């Protein structure tokens, strides 16, 4: 497998601890959701490292000083369902971000991802889009979500996931080479059912308790 140039694995002891909570089959949805939120917060901090800022004078209670303001129009786009779990962590770091949604399901005949829900602000061509989905497995869902966003005019897309498989990273690198991917772990491989190994199971079911 070739070196994955577009995937940035964010390394931090807190992420390792929280990933362990996610991977553990004994973790209940309450603890699972809180770990997803904490990991998302760290990813949001890391992704926003490259954001531009503008300077404006402000006044402290004592004197004037330089204030710094983020100069980006950010739109978070969680992929339904499991991406929803990442929204609050991202919003805690980027509270002014707008939130769009994409719903995808697999067509039973063609096995192609179909868009069943789409809502984002209309001017996404000028926005920084942060696509959120905890799992990058085969890459089919995220590749389709990125295509749907591009069709609506999105030009600046970053993908944030929790766990990725090399197969999915490679697919995105082929189909959307300009999209940077941030994740907390690049896992080993997919199994025969398209699940990530060692992975954490079905992220949607574990987030919402629908096992």
Using CB under 6 A, pick the residue from 148, 196, 209, 211 that binds ligand URA: 196
d(CA 183, CA 209) in angstroms, rounded, equals 23
Cis? peptide before 198, omega within 30° of 0? yes
Q: Identify which of residues 118 and 195 has a Cβ nearer to ligand URA in the complex.
A: 195
Q: Which residues bind ligand PRP (CB under 6 A)?
A: 79, 81-82, 133-142, 168, 194, 202-204
How far apart are CB 86 and ligand PRP at their closest, in Å? 10
Cβ distance 158 to 180 under 8 Å?
Answer: yes
Query: Which of 38, 36, 37, 50 has its CA nearest to residue 8?
Result: 50
Query: Which of 5, 2, 8, 6 has its CA nearest to residue 183?
Result: 8
Q: Identify which of residues 55 and 189 has a Cβ nearer to ligand URA in the complex.
A: 189
Q: Which of 24, 106, 188, 210 is catalytic?
A: 106
Backbone angles phi, psi at 119, to 5 degrees: -150, 115
Q: Binding of ligand URA at residue 135 (CB under 6 A)?
A: yes
Q: Binding of ligand URA at residue 203 (CB under 6 A)?
A: yes
Q: Which residues bind ligand URA (CB under 6 A)?
A: 135, 137, 194-196, 199, 202-204
């Amino acid at each position: 497998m070739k070196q994955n140039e577009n995937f940035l694995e964010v390394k931090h002891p807190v992420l390792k601890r929280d990933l362990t909570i996610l991977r553990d089959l004994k973790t209940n949805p309450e603890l699972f959701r809180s770990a997803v939120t904490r990991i998302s917060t760290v990813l949001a901090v890391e992704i926003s490292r490259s954001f531009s800022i503008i300077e404006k004078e402000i006044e402290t209670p004592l004197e004037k000083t330089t204030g710094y303001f983020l100069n980006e129009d950010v739109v978070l786009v969680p992929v339904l369902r499991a991406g929803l779990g990442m929204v609050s962590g991202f919003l805690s770091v980027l509270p002014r971000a707008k939130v769009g949604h994409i719903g995808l399901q697999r067509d039973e005949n063609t096995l192609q991802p179909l868009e069943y829900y789409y809502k984002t602000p209309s001017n996404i061509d000028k926005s920084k889009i942060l696509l959120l989905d905890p799992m990058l497995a085969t890459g089919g869902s995220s590749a389709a979500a990125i295509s749907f966003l591009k069709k609506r005019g999105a030009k600046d897309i970053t993908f944030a996931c929790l766990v990725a498989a090399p197969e999915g990273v490679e697919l995105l690198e082929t189909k959307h080479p300009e999209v940077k991917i941030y994740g907390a772990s690049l896992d080993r491989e997919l199994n025969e059912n398209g699940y990530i190994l060692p992975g954490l199971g079905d992220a949607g079911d574990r987030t919402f308790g629908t096992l």
